[in-house]
Structure 1
Amino acid sequence: MYQYTSFDKQFVKLRAEQFRDQIERWQRGELTDEQLLPLRLQNGWYIQRYAPMARIAVPYGEISSTQLRTLAHIAREYDQPAPELLAHAQATQDALQDAQPGTTLPAAPLRYGYGHFTTRTNVQFNWIPITRAADVMDLLASVSMHGIQTSGNDIRNITCDALEGIAEDSIVDTRPFAEITRQWSSLHPEFSYLPRKFKIAFNGAEEDRAATGWYDIGLQARRAEDGSIGFTVKVGGGMGRTPIIGSVVREFLPWDQLLNYIEAVVRTYNSYGRRDNKWKARIKILVKSEGQNFIDAVEKEYKDIVELDGAPHTITQAELDRVTANFVVPALQAANLPSKVNTQGQLYQRWLQQNVRGHRLPGLKTVTLSFKRPGFATGDADAATLEALAQLAEQFSAAEARLTHEQNLMLPWVHESDLPALYDAARALGLAQPNIGLLTDMIICPGGDFCSLANARSLHIGAAVTERYQDLDELFDLGPIDLHMSGCINSCGHHHSGHIGILGVDKDGKEWYQITLGGSDGTTLSGPAIGGKVVGPSFTAAEVPDVIEALLATFRALRKPGELFIDALRRIGHEPFKQAANAARHPKADQEALAEQD
Structure 2
Amino acid sequence: MTAVDLRVAQRPNAPMTTYRYDEYDSAFVRERVAEFREQVNRRLSGALTEEEFRPFRLMNGLYLQLHAYMLRVAIPYGTLTARQMRRLADIADRWDKGYGHFTTRQNLQYNWPKLVDTPDILESLADVEMHAIQTSGNCIRNVTADHFAGVAPDEIEDPRPTAEFLRQWSSLHSEFSFLPRKFKIAVNGAVSDRAAIEVHDIGLEAISNDAGELGFRVSVGGGLGRTPIVGSFINEFLPWQHLLSYLDAILRVYNRYGRRDNKFKARIKILVKALTPEVFAEKVDAEWAHLKDGPTTLTEAEVQRVAQFFVDPAYQPLQDQSAALAALDSEHPGFARWRARNTAAHKKPGYVAVTLSLKPTGVAPGDVTDKQLEAIADLAERYSFGEVRNSHEQNMILADVEQTQLFQLWGELREHGFATPNIGLLTDIICCPGGDFCSLANAKSIPIAEAIQRRFDDLDYLFDIGEVDLNISGCMNACGHHHVGHIGILGVDKKGEEFYQVSLGGSANRDASLGKILGPSFAQEDMADVIEKVIKVYVEQRTEDERFIDTYRRIGIDPFKERVYAANH
**Category of TM-score, reference length = shorter chain:** over 0.9
Q: Which runs of 5+ in 2 are unaligned?
A: 1-17, 318-324
Alignment correspondent of 2:256? 271
Kept in 2, the 8 Å contact 1:196–1:282? The answer is yes
Alignment correspondent of 1:331? 314
> 1:178: how far off?
0.6
Q: Does 1:538 align with 2:521?
A: yes
Deviation sequence 1:63-109 (CA, Å, 0-9, x none): 111111111111111114xxxxxxxxxxxxxxxxxxxxxxxxxxxxx
Letter in 1 for 2:280: F
> 1:570: how far off?
1.2
For 2:79 and 2:537, the matched residues in 1 are separated by 40
Alignment correspondent of 1:235? 220
Deviation sequence 1:236-287 (CA, Å, 0-9, x none): 0000111101111100000110000000000100000000000000000000
Q: Select between 38-47 and 12-21 the one with higher mean Cα deviation.
A: 12-21
Q: Which runs of 5+ in 1 are unaligned?
A: 81-112, 586-593
Identify which of 114, 127, 149 aligns with 1:129: 114
Alignment correspondent of 2:287? 301
Deviation sequence 1:487-540 (CA, Å, 0-9, x none): 0000000000011000000111110100000001024xxxx1010000110000
> 1:19: how far off?
1.0
Kept in 2, the 8 Å contact 1:332–1:398? The answer is no
Over aligned residues, Cα RMSD in angstroms?
1.6
For 1:439 and 1:138, the matched residues in 2 are separated by 39
Identify which of 26, 32, 41 aligns with 1:15: 32
Identify which of 324, 344, 366 aligns with 2:353: 366
Deviation sequence 1:525-576 (CA, Å, 0-9, x none): xxx1010000110000111110000011111222223322111111111111
Alignment correspondent of 1:199? 184
Aligned with 1:513: secondary structure? strand
Q: Does 1:74 align with 2:91?
A: yes
For 1:260 and 1:333, the matched residues in 2 are separated by 40
Change (3 A) 1:395 1:14: same
Alignment correspondent of 2:509? 522
Equivalent runs, 1:168-317 vs 2, <5 Å: 168-291=153-276, 292-306=278-292, 310-317=293-300
Q: Select between 560-569 and 400-409 the one with higher mean Cα deviation.
A: 560-569
Letter in 2 for 1:396: Y
For 2:426 and 2:566, the matched residues in 1 are separated by 22
> 1:333: how far off?
7.1
> 1:342: how far off?
5.3
Aligned with 1:542: secondary structure? helix
Letter in 1 for 2:283: A
Identify which of 513, 523, 543 aligns with 1:560: 543
Kept in 2, the 8 Å contact 1:480–1:564? The answer is yes
Deviation sequence 1:152-201 (CA, Å, 0-9, x none): 00000000011111110010011111101101100100010000000000
Deviation sequence 1:341-381 (CA, Å, 0-9, x none): 95431111111111111111222110000000123110000
Identify which of 408, 413, 419 aligns with 2:400: 413
Identify which of 386, 403, 410 aligns with 2:373: 386
Kept in 2, the 8 Å contact 1:72–1:387? The answer is yes
> 1:332: how far off?
4.9
For 1:571 and 1:174, the matched residues in 2 are separated by 34
TM-score by length of 2: 0.93
For 2:543 and 2:186, the matched residues in 1 are separated by 36
Kept in 2, the 8 Å contact 1:497–1:521? The answer is yes
Aligned with 1:411: secondary structure? strand
Alignment correspondent of 2:562? 579
Kept in 2, the 8 Å contact 1:504–1:511? The answer is yes
For 1:378 and 1:583, the matched residues in 2 are separated by 31
Kept in 2, the 8 Å contact 1:343–1:420? The answer is no
For 1:342 and 1:465, the matched residues in 2 are separated by 31
For 2:119 and 2:240, the matched residues in 1 are separated by 38
For 1:5 and 1:162, the matched residues in 2 are separated by 24
Change (3 A) 1:332 1:21: farther
Alignment correspondent of 1:35? 52
Letter in 1 for 2:359: K
Letter in 2 for 1:329: D
Kept in 1, the 8 Å contact 2:328–2:336? The answer is no
Aligned length: 543
Deviation sequence 1:398-426 (CA, Å, 0-9, x none): 11000001100000111111111110110
For 1:218 and 1:517, the matched residues in 2 are separated by 24
Alignment correspondent of 2:533? 550
